[in-house]
Every structure is written in C-alpha cells, then in structure tokens.
Structure 1
C-alpha cells in the first residue's frame, strides 16, 4: 500500500517494471473503450483541415466498402490474439478461465457471458489466447459479439475486429454459426446491465432477454452459460444512479434511443489508487458451464423459446451457486432482473 497525500493513495515508487507494464496495458484497454472512438473521429476531422485531408477521404472510402465486415466474422488476427500485451493484461488482474465441460468441435455453441460489467474485461478469455482458450477447448473458434455502434467508430473498429469482436446482429450470428466448431459469445445483459454494475452485486438482466435463445434454436447452437466472478468489482458508479433516480431515467432514455448507456465510473489511476479509468486489480475468473443440448428448430414456437430460456436461467444460477464460495463471493445471491 502507498502513502496518502490530500486523501489520494499513491502507488509505491519502487513498483516493479512488469507491474507498471501490466497497469499500462489495463489503462490502454480502458482508454480505447471509453475514448478510442472519439479520439479517432477528432483525429480524422483534424486531418481534413491539413494537407493530409486525403487520409480521411481514403479511410471513409475504406469504411464504406468494409462496412459489413463486422457481420461477416470480422477480421481476426492470430498474431494479435497471441500478443504479449494480453498476457500482461491477464496478469494485471489476473484473469483465468475455468472449464467445467468439454465442447465438441463438431457442434456449434452460443455462450452467454454474465455479468456485462462496465466493459466486459473477462471476454479477453474468448478473444485472446492469454488464458489458453484453444487449449482448453480444442477445435472451437470463438467470437465475442458487441454493439453494432462500436463497429462504426473509426480505427477502433479495426482493432476490435482484429481480436475477434463482431456485431451482435442476426446476420452476424447466422454467418458465424453456419460453420461447425464456432462459438458466439454474447454479453446478454448488454448496455442496460452496465447500469447495475456495482461492487458486491450480481444483478443479471435476463428475465425478458430471449432473442439469444431463439437464435440458438434456429441455428442448432447449444447454449452454454458462463459467469465471470469479479467483473462487477473493477469499477464503481461515480454517481448514484439507483433505479428511479433522475440519472437512471436519463441513462435508460439515452440507451433506448442510441443503444449505448452513458455511464460515469471511477476505478484507479496509473500512479494512484483513488480514482481514474484504470480498473482495480481484482481477480477475474470466468467459469464456462456445461452445454445445454438442443435440437435445431428453424421456426421455434414461443413455448419452445420459453422452456429453453427457463432451463438456461436455472443452469446459470446453478453455475453461480456452485462456484461462488470457492472464489470469494459466497455472500452474494444472483438476481435476475428485467
């Protein structure tokens, strides 16, 4: 622990270099998520007023012809997925992947990721090789699906596409699941759930989220629940946004119109622990549950969807309850909300 100055807890000056690099990787990831898109837009606008305006024009042209890539499997780069930067990011928390059952590469899977948290740091288990996903699940190729909006942000879209993020549209899901051995990972709670991402809570937006079940049935993709312990501990909401408050009403209104929930959070800084956009060092343990096997149903009835959805909710709760004490969350109870 470092000393405090004016209420700010400073990081020790003699911090080992590898710890500094880990923090830098965590900071960079957070910065890209919160400000990467805005920075890129401002940069392109700035270039328009210089002799390098042609770079902006070339990029806009490229974007137009490449606009459907996020719905066509992205452009994953094995070099980037194996980058040392993600091993440093893994060790910062640290992040770990826990397998409870094998996944047959002759089948397809839809993995539900819970909770969303602020930015889903634990999804690095599925889009990088830092925790050995391909060794734990040989023959399975995973894709994490995110808001289409993120794939409209210049340059940032190139980065997330290269590590395996695609947009969470029906076309995207259908495209990926047409090939055996593929798994789509969906942060089912989405932006709405991020509003309830607070330490010591396990609020899961799932009661009325059934679209993923329908897509699983239509594509014959077995459902797999997963839970990342520690995801909600990385940041705290900077302002009180409890349900019913003015701030929450504004956030919900904005999210319903744009698809993205505006949130203000605080973590720690690079050289101090009291505030900032760097996530806190909290172990992230992603536990991947057993697959719920199903039969491909091109036109599932509402009854089919409801029954499978109920099975999924039970499986997720059982997964949480089975592992929560082991990872230090024995006092918490998972809560399904609308």
Structure 2
C-alpha cells in the first residue's frame, strides 16, 4: 500500500511564520500530501526570489567559504609575500577580497535582513532562536528548498524520543541541512545539534557561528551525551568529507557502506535513525578532483576539505549554482536499546538503513527529475 508523503516548501514559507514563536501547526497547515511519489519534476523547480536576497547570498556564502579556508591559506599567502613581489600582490588582492565581502555583509546586508526578518543578535543561551538566522533563511530562498517526509516521520511519530538524522550526500557544502529550525521544530520539539569535524569548532569566527547554531563535535561521546543526557536530536552528515569526491552525471555515490559507527551509537542510546537525502547537493558546486587522489587522501586524513571547488559563474569558492534542493526523509530505522551491541546487531540495522536510503531515493528521484539516475553505496 503506498505511503502518504508530506511536502513543505520552505522557500515560499511566509516570513512572518519563520520564527521560534510560531506554532508548528501553522507550518504543517501549509504542507501538501501525496499517496506515494509526488508527480515527476515537481520537486526540482527554481522559484523566483527578491534580488536583494540573491545578492545577500552571493556575498554571504562567498564570505563563509573564504572564512573556512582563511586560517589555512593566509599563512601561505604571507609566506609567498615574503619570498616574492608576486606573492605580495597576491596577499594584498586576497585581503582586499575578504575586506570587501566582510564590509558589504556587515554594513549593508546584515542590518538590512535583520530588520526585515525582525531578528536580533545571536544569543549565547537560546540556540533554538539562533537557528532562525537571516542567512539560513535566505539559503532556503536561494535554493528553492523543499522538505519531503513519510507518514512514519510525521508528528506525533517521533515525539517521545530524540532522533538521529543521517544526511547524505555531503557535496561541497550540504546546504540543505542548514534549515536548522526544521530539525528542531517540524518532527518533534527537541533541539537538534548537527555535528561537524572537531577542527571546524576551533577555527576563528567560523567556530563561534557554528556553536551558536548548536553544532557539536562529530565524536561518539558528544553524540551519545546529547541523545541520552540532554535528550535532544542529533544530525550527522553520514558520508562526511568522503561524500565530496564521488558523483557523476548518471550516478549518485553514497560513501556509507562502512559507516556503521552511528548504528552502534543509536543502539546504545535506543533512538531511531532517520535517513535523509539531499537531492541537488552534488550539483551546487563543481569540485576539482586531482587524478591521483592526493587531495582526497589529505582531506580524509585531516577531516577537512582541501580540494578546490567553483560555484556560479566559475567563481572560486563563490556562491553555489541556483540549483533547487529537496531534502527527503525516509522510513526511520527503529533501533532498540542494546548496551553492548554485537557486530551482528550493528550489521542488521545498518542493512536496514541502506535499504531505507535506497527506497527513498527510488521513490523521489523521478519527482526531482532524476528518473534515470542510480544510487550506489560504496
């Protein structure tokens, strides 16, 4: 019997409803439903948006990108400037680029959108409220973001326990997950903490933002404590950095065949895992992969991206293509509480997770316009 699916278009959600105070019932009232798959090509439509939103994201995302690499490349530019006059020119050009982006963001776009969305400065204590930040709201509009989920995930199905959301693919940047309030509001009332590489939470400026959004290190202890002691949700981009490097025109490749640690965590905590697929994640940026796999190996070793990628208009570390994103959730894997799960236990529920991913991809791929694409696990 076909499953009922729900769809919420975040990009067209009225701005007046995008706040912590709005009852989730008002969001759910705007959902549409389908018995089984949604119609072909109905989940891949780019919506028109305000030009000021587009400009803000062009500047804001580019600033965010350079902020992530700044601690690593600035010392190289300084060294190059010491060694040659060309290096000095490059250093000045780089610093000018960063200064222009930062100034436009601070003095024009941030004040404009904080006023428009009636936002205030980030709080040190109210993470849920922080998650409604204007930049993430504009991400949803820029990429025409939609969410799709089955009856088994719809309220009140997940009300009683914290949940692990496992998202794939990573792509250059998994923008679909940055609609943070969805994970903390739509499926239950528990604050959701996404995980990231521990080194990211040590970067200047970037780390402050991440912590204000509720990010925690992608380590078992932090995840277990969040689930069991705080009884709050956790989000994990399951393929991690490895998910940046493998995709092509006809195939989406999910590097999760051996990613079983999250299953062990879920079994010990006794919480469900909800598989999540970000349709469009691999099309946002063009990633340059060296033929020898050196950058991939270094990125995996250091748990941080070291590969160059290009966005709209071929802009290095620039804004993404205006690709529509559809974040689709699958049937949850209901993990019983097992204090010391065996390898057989882990393999059993990991197989269920892979099957749920395969089913959700097959269910929604034609709706996203990918009828001929395949999902392959490696």
TM-score of the superposed pair, with normalisation by structure 1:
0.75
SS of 2:321's equivalent in the other structure is: coil
Mapped contact 1:235–1:267 kept (Cα < 8 A): yes
Mapped contact 1:110–1:186 kept (Cα < 8 A): yes
Gaps of 5+ in 2: 1-47, 79-123
Q: Structure 1 segments of 4 or more deviating over 6 A? A: none
Which residue in 2 is equivalent to 1:333? 374
Which residue in 2 is equivalent to 1:106? 160
Question: After superposition, what is the alpha-carbon deviation per residue over 1:259-310, rounded to whole angstroms, capped at 9, x for unaligned?
Answer: 2231111111xxxx34341100011110122211121111000011011111
Q: Does 1:236 align with 2:236?
A: no
Distance 2:235 2:50 in 1: 31
Which residue in 1 is equivalent to 2:335? 294
Is the alpha carbon distance of 1:143 and 1:197 closer, same or farther for their aligned partners in structure 2, counting shifts above 3 Å?
Answer: farther
Distance 2:50 2:174 in 1: 24
Which residue in 1 is equivalent to 2:63? 31
Shift of 1:160: 0.8
Is the alpha carbon distance of 1:198 and 1:147 closer, same or farther for their aligned partners in structure 2, counting shifts above 3 Å?
Answer: farther
Which residue in 2 is equivalent to 1:317? 358
Range with bigger deviation, 83-92 or 321-330:
83-92
Shift of 1:76: 5.8
SS of 2:246's equivalent in the other structure is: coil
Q: Does 1:275 align with 2:275?
A: no
Which residue in 2 is equivalent to 1:171? 221
Distance 1:222 1:135 in 2: 17
Distance 2:257 2:49 in 1: 46
Is the alpha carbon distance of 1:216 and 1:112 closer, same or farther for their aligned partners in structure 2, counting shifts above 3 Å?
Answer: same
Which residue in 1 is equivalent to 2:51? 19
Q: Does 1:124 align with 2:168?
A: no
Is the alpha carbon distance of 1:134 and 1:218 closer, same or farther for their aligned partners in structure 2, counting shifts above 3 Å?
Answer: closer
Shift of 1:255: 2.6
1:21-170 to 2 correspondences below 5 Å: 21-36=53-68, 38=70, 77-100=127-150, 101-102=153-154, 103-125=157-179, 127=180, 129=181, 132-170=182-220
SS of 1:202's equivalent in the other structure is: strand
Mapped contact 1:198–1:233 kept (Cα < 8 A): no
Mapped contact 1:37–1:155 kept (Cα < 8 A): no
Mapped contact 1:235–1:265 kept (Cα < 8 A): yes
Gaps of 5+ in 1: 1-15, 47-73
Shift of 1:21: 2.7
Mapped contact 1:40–1:153 kept (Cα < 8 A): no
Mapped contact 1:110–1:223 kept (Cα < 8 A): yes
Question: After superposition, what is the alpha-carbon deviation per residue over 1:159-191, rounded to whole angstroms, capped at 9, x for unaligned?
Answer: 011112211001210111014752211111111
Distance 2:329 2:241 in 1: 22
Which residue in 2 is equivalent to 1:59? none
Which residue in 1 is equivalent to 2:271? 221
Mapped contact 2:330–2:359 kept (Cα < 8 A): no
RMSD across aligned positions (CA): 2.6
Q: Does 1:253 align with 2:294?
A: no
TM-score of the superposed pair, with normalisation by structure 2:
0.68
